[in-house]
Amino acid sequence: MADKTTEIFKDAPVPKAVIVNIIPSIISMIMVLVYNLADTFFIGQTRNAYMVAAVSVATPAFLFFMAVGMLFGIGGTSLTSRMLGEGNNAKAKKISSFCFWTGLVIGVVSMFLIWIFLKPVCTMIGADAETMEYTQQYLKIVAIGIPFLIVSNIFSNIIRAEGKAQIAMMGMIIGNILNIVLDPIMILGFHWNVAGAAIATIIGNIASAVFYFIHLISKNSILSIRPSDYQVKNGIAVGVFAIGVPASLNSILMSTSNIVVNNLMLQHGNMAVAGLGVAMKVNMIVVMLLIGLGTGIQPLLGYCFGAGNRKRYMEVLRFSLLLAFCLSLVMTVICYAGAAPLVSAFLEDKDAFSYGMKFARIYIYSGPIMGILFVLINAIQSTGAALPALILSISRQGLLYLPILTIFNKVFHSPETLAGAQPVTDYLSVCLAVVLFFVTYKTYFKHMKN
């Protein structure tokens, strides 16, 4: 592993180092995207728009537990890559063990809490009388897979920090392909509907978690999940949480904002909620690819920062920003032009399709700048800059988005302007990210080589 890390992270030409790291990450995100689209697509084949709306309503709860995985995954990746850059492999083992066991315990506790408070949770996230039964069916089953979801999200990130981006990718692919294959069988073949989608989801999460577990106990990994390596002190918990909490806050606030916008959109009917849910999934085509690019370069940037190589860090960042901008433009054009066939694949109801089509094209307005945003987010996280990462995370889906959403609802009170709050927020977030990166650069790079 050391040789591979040295070759790719330290010595490989910048374009090669970036491409080698981002391709597995982007493929992983594509698989996550396909799996998310598959759930909605096959549920849409039941010709029941209320089931589509129920899955859209349940998505924020699912995102919340993914955020827990991101807390330890992104935080662990940032700290681990910096430790490897410093040559401190022993501490890297302790970090991965801490992330595994803490995440697993949180997952088990969360599973039982969902079962105990199922109906109040469904009400809180926006289920009404017409979608409550379907939302409860979906969430009750999905809760079984929460511990596995958290563990798989943790190590799909941390394993990349040891230079094993392909292993991280394979774990995601195995789980998602299994989910996609099982979706039509369980939803349509067995006629289990939303329950079938939930069962396919937890089987996929279990498969991913088991794959990562096998890798981590093998001789091919320098990381560890042994209880004897578990450690909270010596800056491990603080280091993980310093970057992990801001990263997870972004997902938690995304979940919260989805709940808020779902409840506001419900004023315009369940078909508007169904259309919004599908529009978000169409927008995910752009977003997930660019998240893959951003998370793919974080271990590389973290290694350069840990090694004190400012010149290579900036070369990687410049190349990544250019690549992200070009990819953003291409994907924006594709998704805008293909909005109609994409939405029609999920919705047949005339009203739901009309909403979905309008919302999808509104959401994609922020596409051209999203790549820049995700690269800068990961660049800030790679340095361990906790405060700038925290400010950016709570701003995009919280301090900026929620007030804009509230204002748009009060002033315009139309479903289109509710959807328009997101692209407006995204452009403001990019401006904020640029400012925060320059603050980070001036503050955290003082000790690094020229």
Q: pLDDT tens digits for 113-126?
A: 999 999 998 888 77
Q: How many CB atoms lie under 10 A from the CB of residue 174?
A: 18
Q: Is the pLDDT of residue 35 over 60?
A: yes
Summarised one tens digit per residue, pLDDT across range 7-22 is 677 778 899 989 988 8
Mean pLDDT score, 403-411: 90
pLDDT grade for 2, boundaries at 50, 70 and 90: very low
Spatial separation of the C-alpha atoms in residues 56 and 59, rounded to whole Å: 5
* DSSP code per residue over 82-114: HHHHHT-HHHHHHHHHHHHHHHHHHHHHHHHHH
User: Residue 274 carries which side chain, given as an amino acid letter?
Assistant: A
**Could you tell me the two tokens for 122?**
């469904």
Q: Is the pLDDT of residue 96 over 50?
A: yes
**Could you tell me the two tokens for 345?**
């694949």
Give the contacts of 189 (CB within 8 A, at least 6 positions apart).
Answer: none
User: Residue 15 carries which side chain, given as an amino acid letter?
Assistant: P
Q: Which of 60, 59, 52 is nearest to 193 (CA)?
A: 52
DSSP 445: -
- Give whole-number Cα distances, 275 to 64, 148, 392, in Å: 22, 30, 29
H helices present in 117-235, as ranges? 118-124, 132-142, 146-161, 165-184, 193-216
Summarised one tens digit per residue, pLDDT across range 110-166 is 999 999 999 998 888 778 888 898 999 999 999 999 999 999 989 988 998 888 888
Spatial separation of the C-alpha atoms in residues 90 and 200, rounded to whole Å: 38
Phi, psi of 260 (to 5 degrees): -65, -50
Sorted by where each begins, the domain ranges of the chain are 2-444
Residue with the two structure tokens 């941390």: 158
> What local confidence, expressed as pLDDT, does residue 230 receive?
94
Q: Is this structure's pTM higher than 0.85?
A: no
Question: Between 108 and 273, where is the model more confident?
Answer: 108
pLDDT grade for 99, boundaries at 50, 70 and 90: very high
> What local confidence, expressed as pLDDT, does residue 283 receive?
84
- Give whole-number Cα distances, 260 to 245, 253, 266, 437, in Å: 21, 10, 10, 29
Task: Work out the mean pLDDT of the chain and round it to a whole number.
Answer: 86
Q: Which of 50, 251, 263 is nearest to 137 (CA)?
A: 50
Q: Over pLDDT 90: what percentage of the chain?
A: 33
Spatial separation of the C-alpha atoms in residues 294 and 377, rounded to whole Å: 8
Spatial separation of the C-alpha atoms in residues 299 and 304, rounded to whole Å: 9
Summarised one tens digit per residue, pLDDT across range 187-235 is 989 989 889 989 998 999 999 999 999 999 988 888 999 999 999 988 8
Give, for 21, the enclosing helix (H) or strand (E).
Answer: helix 14-44
> What local confidence, expressed as pLDDT, does residue 287 receive?
85
pLDDT grade for 286, boundaries at 50, 70 and 90: confident
Spatial separation of the C-alpha atoms in residues 70 and 155, rounded to whole Å: 9
